[in-house]
Amino acid sequence: MKHQIHFLITIDTECDKSADWSIPHPLRFQNIETGVGKLFQPFCEQNGIRPTYLLSPEIIRDSHTADLFRSFGCRCELGTHMHTEFIEPDPVVLPKTTDQFQADFPEAIEYEKMKNMTALFHETFGYAPSSFRAGRFGMGPATFRILSQLGYKVDSSVFPLHVIHTLNNRFNYFDRPLYPYFIEMENTTPPTRLLELPMTVHSRFYSSQRPGLRKWVSRSRYSKAVLRRVLPSGYMKVYSLRPSTYSYEAMRMVADAYIQRHQEHDHIFLVMMFHSNELTPGTSPYNNTERDVAAFMERLSRITGYILSKGAGSPTMHEAYDILSGKTLKA
């Protein structure tokens, strides 16, 4: 069977932030109303893209933003995105930033926050969410188990070839698979499985190494220093499909290298991520001017056109689960 390419655009949706990620009060949602509603969702529909919006609790709770996402209907998927400051128990009153990580909470508290956010989503939209990403990729040892207990099917919190530093923990993802994989949750009743849909990344050095060696090198300052001296410049750099961070040429390199390396797979998934507040000027550390937003959209348009030109489809996160489970997708 010839491999099939699938291009997923996943957006972490949050309230407006400032250039240092601080939160203005009262909360504002210009990035949703203008960036998503008037710029990005029309772009997706013009290009046959069905994005997955992962909604932080303050987005779900705001009636205007919820109404906007509800109006998109089947033209997208809605999931959840955890910023713990905005959900019970013990939410932060007028939070200055979203610098908490769910990984740093005891499992019982993490579970309650996840359960309450999931219930809020269900109450708002009338159905249960099935896709999730942790805020700042800050998942913890219990997150997969909690997601499975709450009925989720897909997680996208793993950022391969990265080390995630939370306030109290350090998680090294250099040995994680670079492609989607199922996690069998045998300690749930009944046993379930969760699809991990990691960010698409590429490194000229790390992507060609065995997982154990990747992790060993990532932990050794001496080894990294030696390799940087003997390898070509930038050879160890990790790239991903993030249009505010990388050029069109860099993202094209990621897509080409990833497709080439995973041609033995029947299904190849290219996963892009950015924040909704990157879509409007001055609502995040990225894209401070209208010109910045225009350049962002140009990069996004070019890489989208390039990947689609390879015959790629554009499923949502839940549809990725169905594809890899062998289910027939609805037309």
What would the 3-class secondary structure string for the chain be? CCCEEEEEEEEEECCCCCCCCCCCCCCCCHHHHHHHHHHHHHHHHHCCCCCEEEECHHHHHCHHHHHHHHHCHHHCEEEEEECHHHCCCCCCCCCCCCCCCHHHCCHHHHHHHHHHHHHHHHHHHCCCCCEEEEHHHCCCCCHHHHHHHCCCCEECCCCCCCEEECCCCEEECCCCCCCCEEEEECCCCCCEEEEECCCCEECCCHHHCCHHHHHHHHHCHHHHHHHHHHCCCCCCCCEECCCCCCCHHHHHHHHHHHHHHCCCCCEEEEEEEEEHHHCCCCCCCCCCCHHHHHHHHHHHHHHHHHHHHCCCECCCHHHHHHHHCCCCCCC
Residue 3, pLDDT score:
87
CA end-to-end distance (rounded Å), the chain: 22
Q: Is residue 226 part of a domain?
A: no
- The identity of residue 210, as a single letter, is R
Q: Is residue 122 part of a domain?
A: yes
C-alpha to C-alpha distance for 113 and 61, rounded to whole angstroms: 14
Q: Is residue 282 part of a domain?
A: yes
Q: Is residue 213 part of a domain?
A: no
Which ranges of the chain have pLDDT less than 70?
Answer: 1, 188-190, 327-331
Residue 81, pLDDT score:
98
Residue 308, pLDDT score:
98
Distance of CA 231 to the CA centre of its chain: 31
Q: Is residue 75 part of a domain?
A: yes
Residue 1, pLDDT score:
53
Q: Is residue 221 part of a domain?
A: no
With b for 16 or more beta-carbon neighbours within 10 A and e for fewer, the 218-249 pattern comes to beeeeeeeeeeeeeeeeebebbbbbbbebebe
pTM: 0.96
Its domain, for residue 269, covers 4-14+18-203+238-324
Q: Residues, the chain, total?
A: 331
Q: Is residue 303 part of a domain?
A: yes
Long-range contacts (CB closer than 8 Å, 24 or more residues apart) made by 231-234: 231/205, 232/204, 234/204
Q: Is residue 227 part of a domain?
A: no
Residue 329, pLDDT score:
53
Q: Which residue has the tokens 């490194």?
A: 203
Residue 331, pLDDT score:
37
Which residues 6+ apart lie within 8 Å of 23 measured at CB? Answer: 15, 16, 17, 95, 96, 97, 98
Residue 112 phi/psi, 5° resolution?
-65, -40
Number of structural domains the chain divides into: 1
Q: Which residue has the tokens 């849909």?
A: 197
Q: Which residue has the tokens 């401070």?
A: 288
Residue 328, pLDDT score:
57
Q: What CATH number is associated with residue 135? A: 3.20.20.370
Strand 131-134 to 154-155 pairing: parallel
- The identity of residue 104, as a single letter, is D
Residue 326, pLDDT score:
85
C-alpha to C-alpha distance for 261 and 1, rounded to whole angstroms: 16
Other C-beta atoms lying within 10 Å of the C-beta of residue 331: 3
